[in-house]
């Protein structure tokens, strides 16, 4: 009998996913010249496409050229040439599955060494204790900046469809801008975007409406949402339940549940509070709580590495199993599961006592694997986290020089024209 893992999933937009396994977004930080996808991302996504997933979701694609989560971020705005994105979409679909573009704005989660803007719902900075200086000091967004940002999400979604992607996923989790508006800890506004949950959700709902209006009815629109942000007094599971209900009338195909932020990196297995966690499927307890009332199919991401765990997630009523790190280490894991095999190896968690540093090192280890795949090589999950972190730091410095030069040229009207040649 075929496992439900390998049964198709029809979506509201009319699309059907081949199976219930998705590669969740992992930030590649691998943009080429002009903040565009290049051969490395094409190679990486062809590798994943050949591995049997029903859905590939890209890492962050930024909607605002002056607001990036990292200097290696890919930007798709009104000025970007579509040809490199069309090649990326083609690579992602080469195995017969679907590819969605994750679209995002970092808000206040922008490095202090980055040029550009650091915005938030309020002027409250990221609190990482002694690491807080890693992030810029945010300014509270004006109503005009909020409206312009909503429009940017719609432009990026429209252009993603033009490039051949099957859908977009609006990122409203992990402490990025839309998640910041949802959080009562970060959003201290007293206008129509602050206070009640309805007001705090306003920007997300406006983004989804604008995106849905900018794309075809057959183009999929997903939302990534925290099931909770794991900070006392923050966004909780009951808030997530209410936001999912608000999203349903707007034509959302899928809501991906994750959790945490840079301040409480639960998505990497580290939480700032003391609630217990399972070794796998970090957010399954919260998903089980939400799935009974959700009017939208749910996808669950976070720590899933074994088929038995994936099937347990589906048995709970979740529609799609999302995996990140597991597919960076074993890109053909879905095909292995289909033939009743498991991964040969897994990546050991980083257990340093400094949670912020451990989270950064863990992400660096994952990116190290993705870069190996992007070069046509094989993963090496045993890489020491300190080595991965140092390597990441060097690459980020090089990327930062390139991004600064590109952004400076863009502001004078020179850079974007050059990018379009590519």
Write the pLDDT tens digit of every residue in 51-77. Answer: 999 999 999 999 999 999 999 999 999
- With residue 320 as reference, give the H or E element that holds it: strand 320-323
Q: How confident is the model at residue 227 (pLDDT cuts 50, 70, 90)?
A: confident
Distance CA 337, CA 382 (A): 23
The total number of structural domains that make up the chain:
1
Mean pLDDT for 91-112 is 97
pLDDT at 1 over 70: no
Write the pLDDT tens digit of every residue in 350-386. Answer: 999 988 888 889 999 999 999 999 999 999 999 999 9
Distance CA 108, CA 51 (A): 36
What average pLDDT is seen over the chain? 90
Domain that holds residue 303: 4-421
Residue bearing tokens 């499927």? 281
- The structure tokens listed for 133 are 């200086």
Q: Across the strands, what pairs with 184? A: none
Residue bearing tokens 């252009």? 159
List alpha helices for 79-188, DSSP H. Answer: 83-93, 143-163, 177-182
Q: How confident is the model at residue 232 (pLDDT cuts 50, 70, 90)?
A: low
Mean pLDDT for 203-224 is 98
Distance CA 357, CA 354 (A): 5
In this prediction, residue 281 carries a pLDDT of 64
Q: Which of 224, 203, 207 is nearest to 100 (CA)?
A: 224
Q: How confident is the model at residue 413 (pLDDT cuts 50, 70, 90)?
A: low
Write the pLDDT tens digit of every residue in 307-332. Answer: 999 999 999 999 999 999 999 999 99
Provide φ and ψ at 24, rounded to 5°. -70, 160
In this prediction, residue 262 carries a pLDDT of 56
CA distances from 273 to 228, 229, 361 (A): 12, 10, 20
pLDDT at 2 over 50: no
| Cβ contact 214:208 at 8 Å | no
Distance CA 394, CA 386 (A): 12
pLDDT at 48 over 70: yes
Helix (H, G, I), strand (E, B) or coil at 100: strand
Length of the chain equals: 422
Question: What CATH number is given to the structural domain containing 149?
Answer: 3.20.20.70
Write the pLDDT tens digit of every residue in 264-282. Answer: 544 444 444 444 334 456 6
């Amino acid at each position: 009998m075929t496992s439900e893992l390998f049964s198709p999933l029809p979506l509201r937009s009319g699309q059907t996913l081949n199976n219930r396994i998705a590669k969740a977004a992992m930030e590649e930080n691998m943009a080429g010249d002009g903040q565009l996808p290049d051969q490395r991302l094409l190679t990486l996504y062809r590798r994943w496409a050949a591995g049997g997933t029903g859905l590939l979701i890209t890492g962050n694609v930024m909607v605002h050229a002056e607001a990036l989560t990292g200097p290696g971020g890919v930007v798709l705005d009104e000025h970007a040439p579509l040809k490199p994105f069309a090649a990326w979409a083609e690579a992602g679909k080469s195995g017969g599955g679907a590819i969605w573009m994750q679209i995002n704005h970092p808000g206040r989660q922008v490095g202090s060494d980055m040029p550009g803007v650091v915005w938030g719902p309020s002027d409250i900075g990221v609190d990482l204790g002694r690491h807080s200086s890693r992030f810029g000091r945010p300014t509270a967004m004006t109503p005009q900046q909020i409206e312009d940002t909503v429009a940017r999400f719609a432009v990026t979604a429209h252009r993603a469809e033009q490039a051949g992607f099957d859908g977009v996923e609006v990122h409203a989790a992990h402490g990025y801008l839309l998640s910041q508006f949802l959080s009562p800890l970060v959003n201290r506004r007293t206008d129509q975007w602050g206070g009640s949950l309805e007001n705090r959700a306003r920007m997300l709902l406006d983004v989804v409406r604008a995106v849905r209006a900018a794309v075809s009815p057959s183009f999929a629109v997903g939302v990534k949402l925290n099931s909770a942000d794991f900070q006392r007094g923050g966004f909780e599971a009951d808030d997530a339940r209410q936001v999912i209900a608000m999203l349903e009338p707007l034509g959302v195909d899928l809501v991906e549940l994750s959790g945490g932020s840079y301040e409480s990196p639960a998505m990497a297995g580290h939480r700032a509070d003391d609630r217990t966690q399972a070794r796998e499927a970090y957010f399954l307890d919260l998903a089980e709580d939400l799935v009974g009332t959700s009017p939208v199919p749910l996808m669950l991401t976070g720590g899933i590495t074994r088929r038995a765990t994936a099937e347990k997630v589906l048995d709970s009523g979740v529609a799609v199993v999302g995996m990140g790190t597991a597919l960076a280490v074993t890109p053909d894991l879905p095909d292995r599961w289909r033939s009743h095999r498991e991964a040969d190896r897994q990546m050991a968690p980083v257990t340093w006592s400094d949670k912020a540093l451990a989270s950064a090192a863990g992400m660096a280890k994952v990116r190290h694997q993705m870069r190996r795949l992007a070069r046509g090589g094989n993963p090496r999950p045993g890489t020491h986290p300190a080595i991965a972190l140092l390597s990441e730091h060097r690459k980020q410095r090089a990327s930062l020089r390139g991004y600064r030069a590109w952004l400076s040229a863009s502001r004078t009207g020179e850079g974007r024209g050059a990018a379009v040649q590519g």
